Structure 1
Amino acid sequence: MKVERKILMTKKPLIISTDPGIDDIAAMTISLFAKDLDVKMIVPTWGNVALEYTLQNTLNLEKFLHTEVPVVSGASQPLVAPKISAASVHGKTGVAGFDFEEATEELIVPGLAATVMYNAIMDSPEKVTLLGIGPLTDYALLLKQYPNVVENIEELVIMGGNIGRGNHSPLAEYNIAGDPEAAQVVFHSGLKVKVAPLEIGNKAHVTPEQMKQIKACGAVGNMLYSLFSNIREPDGDPRIKIFDPTAVGLILCPEVFTMKKANVEIELAGRYTYGASVIDFMSDKPNAEIATDVDVDKFAQWFINSIKVADQGRI
């Protein structure tokens, strides 16, 4: 008699800190339906727009996707720095281009985000992966309040920072510039940190033809097509650059990226360089792995396929 053995595949437990935001919506959508991920909670924070909008956007997305992942309200402002906004890019509410049906607050879990995350991480039988696709305020609060949490975190994967020029200031990328002190805490936490910097998002893109493929991916594809169609690149490039989903890509398809170890320091005192990521690839004391290149074609195909999977998973 032939005996069939079932191999149990363990999903990677994941917590998402996010500030949706158009590209955050895409990153969350992919994560929520990825077969290798088990999203334990989503922590909206201030960032692209104010917390009142990022929180509601998260709830609205879950209603649209028919998912029921707990949502914990995160930080409403940075640790030290003045609050900034990217409403000029993402619209006043953060999701210009698509009208989501407004959701109720039934998915919201009460409590301070740092404490709720800590309890979930320490109660998890598997080490938890953290995904940071906005300012890192809530993760910094978690690490400062509960330093022992590091022992049950697998890694922290970030979209943020820049090797060269910035997009918020000449030398600072938006997510890091939003809360430089928080980012410095994270990079010196002892965690295994992987970074998809600004340069990777600038390189990873979908073409107009690929956007048509995305639009054809059912209701989810049409939603993302509508959001991304609202983005206009300053240089007039018709291709759509993909930022936050690159961090999800580091988790789910690492083979399409080239990684290099580096020491990362965040500039906290510079008059003109505040919030800059100082990435030293020559350091003998690395504290992070940085994506330095991406296979554009393979990434775009993974991105489109992930949207198809999400649409198929939406019941």
Structure 2
Amino acid sequence: MSKKPIIIDTDPGIDDAAALAIALFSEELDVRLITTVNGNVSLEKVTYNTLRLLKLFEKNISVAKGAERPLIEDPIDASNVHGETGMDGYEFEEPDNSLLLEEHAVTAMYKEIINSDKKITLLPIGPLTNIALLFRLYPEVKENIEEIVLMGGSSGRGNSSVMAEFNIHADPEAAKIVFSSGLPIVMAGLDVGLKALIYPEDSEQLKDMNKTGHMIYHLFKKYRGGSFNTGLKMYDSCAVAYLLKPELFETIDTYVDVELNGAMTKGATIVDFKGYLNKESNVRVCVDINAEEFKKWFIDSIQKCN
């Protein structure tokens, strides 16, 4: 079976670390490039974190540093959830900086996509700034993109504001560009992330499983995406799970847009399940997940890591 070529755009982040581990050790995915974006913490920190993870995983994947701020808005972060460094709780070795490309993430993505003999899938699990810039600067890449499977958005309430999920709220203008790109998009947002829980007994399994499990266990002890005792939310791993095991999800194809003008709703994803807007579907929205099967898949996937 040929591997699916993907580019991961990320902002590690504790749940990003778990998602990256699963993707990088999957036998079904060919991770061509990892790009970083300002999000959970600053661009410098998320890039450093990505390189530290690659050192731990013993993977030689090129990394390109992307946008250090949103297109228009002032930056926000989620250090209250992930800790000051973005990956508090584990002592990593110093990374191999030779994996860091000199060129900007958008240039690196352009080259990888345009020169690929197979269509590339984009897996953005942070704010969508880099992807929006890619489409604005190099719209021709769309012809060689298979689909976008992203972690972000919500069909209901938010986790960064009353109505907005963090990744979309962090750069709503970028999200609007991506959702209106005309490409096939899968949105794995809060609807499934809030149900994709890892409980204390699951974390205990990870602790002595392998090097990666040991690292994730210690990060989870510091993670505030939920509670270590009552269940930690694996938002980003849901996007990877959709790529590898889509049967875990219930989905609805519908029209999605991003609110930019609401004083209290900016960054909200408007998910038009009932067709009020009379627009054609542009997004496959994950609305539910088999939580028990997801948990088994997550633990099995970490077991395959180093």
Q: Per the shorter chain, which TM-score range?
A: over 0.9
DSSP 3-state at the match of 2:150: strand
Q: For residues 23 and 233 of structure 1, do their structure 2 counterparts lie closer, same or farther at Cα, with a shift above 3 Å needed?
A: closer
Is the alpha carbon distance of 1:30 and 1:235 closer, same or farther for their aligned partners in structure 2, counting shifts above 3 Å? Answer: closer
Which deviations, in whole Å up to 9, do the C-alpha atoms of 1:47-76 show, x marking residues without a partner? 000001000000000011110000001110
Instruction: Compute the displacement of 1:101 (Å).
Output: 1.1
Deviation at 1:237, TM superposition (A): 5.5
Unaligned 5+ segments in structure 2 are none
* C-alpha distance 214-159 of structure 1, shift in aligned 2 (>3 A): same
Greater alpha carbon shift after TM alignment, 115-124 vs 237-246: 237-246
- Is 1:308 the counterpart of 2:303? The answer is yes
Count matched residues: 303
Q: 1:125 matched to which residue of 2? A: 117
Distance 1:231 1:11 in 2: 32
What pairs up with 1:154-233 in 2 under 5 angstroms? 154-232=146-224
Equivalent in 246, 252, 256 of residue 248 of structure 2 = 256
Hey, what's the Cα distance between the residues in 2 that align with 1:272 and 1:266?
Answer: 13
C-alpha contact (below 8 Å) 2:64/2:105 kept by paired residues: yes
SS of 2:302 mapped into structure 1: helix
Task: Classify 1:304/1:22 alpha carbon distance in 2 versus 1 (closer, same or farther; 3 Å).
Answer: same
Give TM-score scaled by structure 1 length.
0.94
**Aligned partners of 2:248 and 2:60: how far apart in 1?**
31
Which residue of 105, 125, 147 maps to 2:97? 105
For 2:26 and 2:88, the matched residues in 1 are separated by 25
The whole-number CA distance in structure 2 between the counterparts of 1:145 and 1:106 is: 27
CA distance in 1, matches of 2:235, 2:71: 24
Distance 1:121 1:277, change over 3 A: same
SS of the residue aligned with 2:265? coil
Residue 28 (str. 1) matches residue 23 (str. 2): no
The one-letter code of the counterpart of 1:301 is K
Aligned partner of residue 194 in structure 1, secondary structure:
strand
> Which residue in 1 is equivalent to 2:283?
288
Identity over aligned pairs, percent = 46
Distance in 1, matches of 2:70 and 2:204, equals 38
TM-score, L = length of structure 2:
0.96
Q: 1: distance between equivalents of 2:250 and 2:96?
A: 42
| Distance of 2:145 and 2:274 partners within structure 1 | 27
Indicate conservation of the 8 Å contact 2:226/2:232, yes or no: no
Instruction: For structure 1, list consecutive stretches of 5 or more residues without a partner in the other structure.
Output: 1-8
Distance 1:241 1:51 in 2: 23
- Secondary structure of 1:103's counterpart equals coil
Amino acid in structure 2 at the alignment position of 1:11: K
